[in-house]
Amino acid sequence: MTSNSAIPPASSDSVADHAQAIHEALIAFYGYPQWREPLPALDELVSTILSQNTNDANRDRAFNSLRQRFPSWEEVRDAEPAEVIKAIHPAGLANQKGPRIQEVLRQITQQHNSLDLSFLHDMSSDDASAWLLKFKGVGPKTVAIVLQFSLNKPAFPVDTHIHRVSTRTGLITLKTSAEQAHILLAKALPKETYYAAHLNMIRLGREICQARLPKCGICPITNHCNYFRFNRTQSQITDKTSFDSRMVSNFIMAGNEEKKG
Ligand code: SF4
């Protein structure tokens, strides 16, 4: 394994066909997913900031704590920073997230003279995305989550799980940034699949395609996965545990070679 060419293409089909096949396999395996009730746009934006580097339970604990301490977003905006940091402590990185939330609230107030974002419902997806991206600290993932889950507008958010699954399956390359992945995956999948594909890929990444040691032996998309195909061709080992361990090291080595290239 010495060059980029060591990683074979997932299939001769187009990326769109490949993405569709993965989506359909995940629907067959997990079913159609349901997320929590949609939040208003600003609530979703703050919740997404809180979600960084933590799990859903801690995100929700921090969000609920913040709302209990400050019933309105205006109060959060104008509060002593230490009070906001204290309220969102369960989410972790509170010293970073608290000031960031308050700064976004201040920026939105300066821009819009209000913290009511309901007007975004009447904008096109592109215009709403452009409007939200103006604010420092609001990136493509946050915007895509607000669009998809709060505004019911087509967007495909890419988090660390989706980025990893997409890289291993070959939908994107090891060099594709998260920002680029939002665009590429949104183009690859039909808009009507975004909601389910996003949630099912996250679930796969959390439960099976984990960062350190993916459980390929129980994965429903091995037929559509570069990582699996590459390592299967590299190893005749049948013992499951050592097979999976070798798959990890093989792919990392191949990835390093690709990065050098
Ligand atoms: S086959 Fe393995 S590497 Fe590929 S998506 Fe499934 S768990 Fe991840």
183-202 pLDDT tens trace: 999 999 999 999 999 999 99
pLDDT (mean) for 40-59: 94
Q: Which residue among 11, 164, 225 is best mutated to probe the pocket of ligand 1, counting the most ligand atoms within 8 A of its Cβ?
A: 225
Distance 214 CA to ligand 1 centre (A): 6
Distance 145 CA to ligand 1 centre (A): 25
pLDDT (mean) for 209-222: 95
Residue extents of the structural domains in the chain: 4-32+158-260, 41-150
The per-residue pLDDT for 178 is 87
Do residues 77 and 109 touch, judged by C-beta distance below 8 A? yes
Distance 223 CA to ligand 1 centre (A): 9
Q: 252 or 155: whose pLDDT is higher?
A: 155
Whole-structure pTM value: 0.81
141 is catalytic: yes
H helix runs in the chain, sequence order: 15-30, 41-51, 56-69, 73-78, 81-87, 94-112, 125-133, 140-145, 160-169, 178-188, 194-207, 226-234, 240-260
Q: Enumerate residues 6+ apart whose C-beta is below 8 A from 238.
A: none
The per-residue pLDDT for 241 is 47
pLDDT (mean) for 86-101: 96
What span, in angstroms and rounded, lies between the C-alpha atoms of 52 and 106? 20
143-173 b/e (C-beta count within 10 Å ≥ 16 → b) = bbbbbbbbbebbbbbbbebbbbbbbbbbbbb
One of 86, 134, 136, 141 is an active-site residue; which one? 141
State if residue 168 touches ligand 1 by the CB under 6 angstroms criterion.
Answer: yes
What span, in angstroms and rounded, lies between the C-alpha atoms of 140 and 129? 8
Confirm whether 4-32+158-260 and 41-150 share one CATH topology: no
pLDDT (mean) for 85-110: 96
State if residue 169 touches ligand 1 by the CB under 6 angstroms criterion.
Answer: yes
The per-residue pLDDT for 5 is 33
- Give tens-digit pLDDT for 135-148: 988 999 999 999 99
What span, in angstroms and rounded, lies between the C-alpha atoms of 196 and 35? 9
11 confidence band (pLDDT: 50, 70, 90) = very low
What span, in angstroms and rounded, lies between the C-alpha atoms of 72 and 87? 14
What span, in angstroms and rounded, lies between the C-alpha atoms of 217 and 114? 52
Among 1.10.340.30, 3.40.140.80, 2.120.10.30, 3.30.930.10, what is the CATH number of 41-150? Answer: 1.10.340.30
Phi then psi for residue 221, to 5 deg, are: -120, 30
pLDDT (mean) for 58-81: 97
> Which residue, by CA, sits nearest to atom 8 of ligand 1?
209
Distance 152 CA to ligand 1 centre (A): 30
What span, in angstroms and rounded, lies between the C-alpha atoms of 166 and 100? 29
Among 3.90.180.10, 3.40.50.920, 1.10.1670.10, 3.90.550.10, what is the CATH number of 4-32+158-260? Answer: 1.10.1670.10
pLDDT (mean) for 157-184: 94
